[in-house]
Amino acid sequence: MARIVMKFGGTSMAGMERIRNVAARVKHVVSQGNEVAVVVSAMAGETDRLVGFCKEASPLYDAAEYDVVVASGEQVTSGLLAMTLKAMGVEARSWLGWQLPIRTVEAHAKARVSTIETDDLLAAMASGQVAVIPGFQGMMDDGRVSTLGRGGSDTSAVAVAAAIKADRCDIYTDVDGVYTTDPRIVARARKLDLVTYEEMLELASVGAKVLQTRSVGLAMKEGVRVQVLSSFDDPTQEDLPGTLIVSEEEIEDSKMERQLITGIAHDKNEAKIIVTRVPDKPGAVASIFGPLADAAINVDMIIQNDSKDSEETDVTFTVPRADLARSVDILEALKETIGFRRIITDAEVAKISVVGVGMRSHAGVAATMFKTLADRGINIEAISTSEIKVSVLIDEDETELAVRVLHTAYGLDAPAA
Ligand code: ADP
Ligand code: ASP
Ligand code: MG
């Protein structure tokens, strides 16, 4: 017997037929003698619909009320799944975020899980009842409903798995694992049997939305065994061929032959800002980035152009697209203090990243990336790197082409069928 958390995403919960399929899978896992907690997302498209209502109600909506609205999608699916399970003869009940409770801290709309009370949950599970928990939602210290940021049900599932010391956290989604790149963009993407926590964390943070970044960080910290699986396979199939997230040692032990690059991701959620003719003197860059940090705006890629012949320099950087207007407002208000000439913005950009732990021991990964893009006439507007990642900023229109040619260049394409 094992204790298992099963998480089902939006597409898997979209409509009663799919919910019945999910229930059949849960029933199968229960019938094998396992204790099961299920974490569910809202039906696909529902959270977007609810966010739309909030924006319509007020452009400057209150984040606490936003949480009240958007958390409702998961309340619906958790109730429906519990009912469906019961109708199939499986004992089940829903446990809403505030009922357990799943306690959260920090800001509404992007809250972080602090603790989860598990006594009642474990007692119910031990009595043979399936616990159905709405993902994405929690409760602040003042008792108000909170949500964990978009894609947050993955994090709910990992947090529940850590709290109940589950043997496994199975993330069921609409693809059958983690691929070398988004299989909806590159038909010849290959499924990875194993991926390290570190690579998955990096891939998620640069746009591979198959898992929410925070869920991977939490799984790594808490040592939760995470598996990504398809919810569309036969619900009674054993050993579904998914992707297991493992430590680097486990990969080495598996003797799997590793590619230099593990995966490629793209992200269209950033925007570029160029602040021109900033005085080239100590403190100038701090006067730009300090106020943005104070406004909790995350700056990602940064380049400062060399200005050997002049006393001025151009500073280029990226911010989340959603924060572009606010960033410009903040900087324009400080024009005199910073002393720049003007601000140029471009929201039609995409960040393409290649990720792999092999980079630590091999040179030339970045050079291959630049040459491959240059050969296709794709211009690079900014670059950033980490120990296991190289990212470039390009024109949004060239996203798919860039991902495809890089996938081929790094030898990731699956053999032609
Ligand atoms: P869910 O609703 O189940 O949480 P998501 O839409 O959040 O599902 O995540 C699954 C999607 O992630 C897939 O449909 C796929 O298009 C996308 N994706 C992006 N990068 C990858 C990747 N490297 N491997 C697999 N899927 C990826
Ligand atoms: N329903 C939420 C969203 O769409 C959370 C999730 O599905 O993970 O962002
Ligand atoms: Mg998701």
CATH number of the domain to which 158 belongs: 3.40.1160.10
Core vs surface per residue 241-255: b (16+ CB within 10 A) or e: ebbbbbeeeebeeee
DSSP single-letter state for residue 396 = G
Tell me the pLDDT tens digit for each residue of 208-250.
999 999 999 999 999 999 999 998 887 777 777 899 999 988 8
Residues 174 and 236 in one domain: yes
The first and second tokens of residue 183, run together, are 């299989």
Pair (201, 287) in one structural domain: no
| Phi-psi region at 369: left, alpha or beta (left = phi > 0; alpha = psi -120 to 50) | alpha
CATH of the domain at 366: 3.30.2130.10
Same domain, residue pair 235 and 348: no
Q: How far is the CA of 334 from the centre of ligand 2 (A)?
A: 37
What are the tokens at 121?
């949950």
Determine, yes or no, domain membership for 257: no
- Model-wide pTM > 0.85: yes
Domain tally, the chain: 2
Domain hosting residue 8, numbered range? 3-252
Q: Are residues 276 and 217 in the same domain?
A: no
Residues whose beta carbon lies within 6 Å of some atom of ligand 2: 9-10, 41-42, 47, 73, 135-136, 150-154
pLDDT score recorded for residue 61: 86
Assess whether 291 and 335 both reside in one domain.
yes
181 in Cβ contact with 192 (< 8 Å): no
Determine the pLDDT at residue 18: 97
Question: The tokens 């021109």 sit on which residue?
Answer: 276
Which atom of ligand 1 is the closest one to the Cα of 208?
20
**pLDDT of the residue at 307:** 66
What pLDDT digit, counting tens, does each position of 57-67 carry? 988 889 999 99
Of 153, 154, 231, the residue with max ligand 2 atoms within 8 A of its CB, to mutate for a pocket test, comes to 153
Q: Whose CA is nearest to atom 4 of ligand 1?
A: 9
In a domain, 231, yes or no: yes
The answer to whether the CB of 228 falls within 8 A of the CB of 210 is yes
pLDDT of residue 256: 66
Task: Round to whole Å and give the CA distance between 415 and 403.
Answer: 17
Nearest to 273 by CA among 377, 382, 370: 382
Do 210 and 96 lie in one domain? The reply is: yes
Using omega within 30 degrees of 0 as the cis cutoff, is the peptide bond preceding 291 cis? no
Token reading at 99: 């009922």
Residue 259 has a pLDDT of 77
Strands 130-134 and 35-40: parallel
The list of the chain residues with pLDDT below 70 reads: 255-257, 307-308
Collect residues with CB below 5 Å from ion ligand 3: 9, 151
Burial per residue of 286-305, b for 16 or more beta-carbon CB atoms within 10 angstroms, e otherwise: ebbeebbeeeebebbbebbe
User: Which residues face 267 on adjacent strands?
Assistant: 351
Q: Answer yes or no: is 67 within a domain.
A: yes
**252, 286, 319 - which closes a domain:** 252
**Strand (E) positions, 95-213?**
102-105, 112-116, 130-134, 137-139, 145-147, 168-173, 194-196
> SS3 of 12, please?
helix
CA of 72 to the centre of ligand 3 (A): 17
Annotated binding site: 7-10, 47, 74, 173-174, 179, 184, 209-210
Contact 271, 321 (CB under 8 A): yes
Same domain, 44 and 176: yes
Q: Starting from the CA of residue 184, give the closest ligand.
A: 1
Residue 66 CB less than 6 A away from ligand 1: no
CA distance 29 to 23: 10
Do the beta carbons of residue 174 and residue 116 sit within 8 Å? no
Classify strands 145-147 and 102-105 as parallel, antiparallel or unpaired. Answer: unpaired
DSSP 209: T
Tell me how far the alpha carbon of residue 212 lies from the centroid of ligand 1, in angstroms.
10
In terms of domains, do 220 and 330 share one? no
Tens digits of per-residue pLDDT, 240-280?
789 999 998 887 777 666 778 999 999 999 999 999 999 98
Which residue type sits at 312? Answer: E
The alpha carbon dihedral of 362, 366, 367, 371 has a sign of: positive
Residue 259 lies in a domain: no
Q: The tokens of 89 are what?
A: 């003869």
DSSP string, 104-124: EES-TTS-EEEEE--HHHHHH
CA–CA separation, 232 and 397 (whole Å): 32
Tokens linked to 322: 């959603």
CA distances from 397 to 9, 174, 182, 403 (A): 29, 26, 17, 12
**Residues flagged as binding site for ATP:** 7-10, 173-174, 179, 184, 209-210
Distance CA 173, CA 135 (A): 14
Backbone conformation region of residue 89, classed left if phi is above 0, alpha if psi is from -120 to 50, else beta? left
- Alpha-carbon gap, residue 52 to 70, rounded angstroms: 10
Contacts of residue 307, defined as CB under 8 A and 6 or more positions apart, other chains included, come to 280, 313
* Residue 258: inside a domain: no
Q: Return the pLDDT at 237.
A: 77
**Same domain, residue pair 231 and 366:** no
| Residue 47: predicted pLDDT | 98
- pLDDT tens-digit series, residues 34-73: 999 999 999 999 999 999 999 999 888 899 999 999 999 9
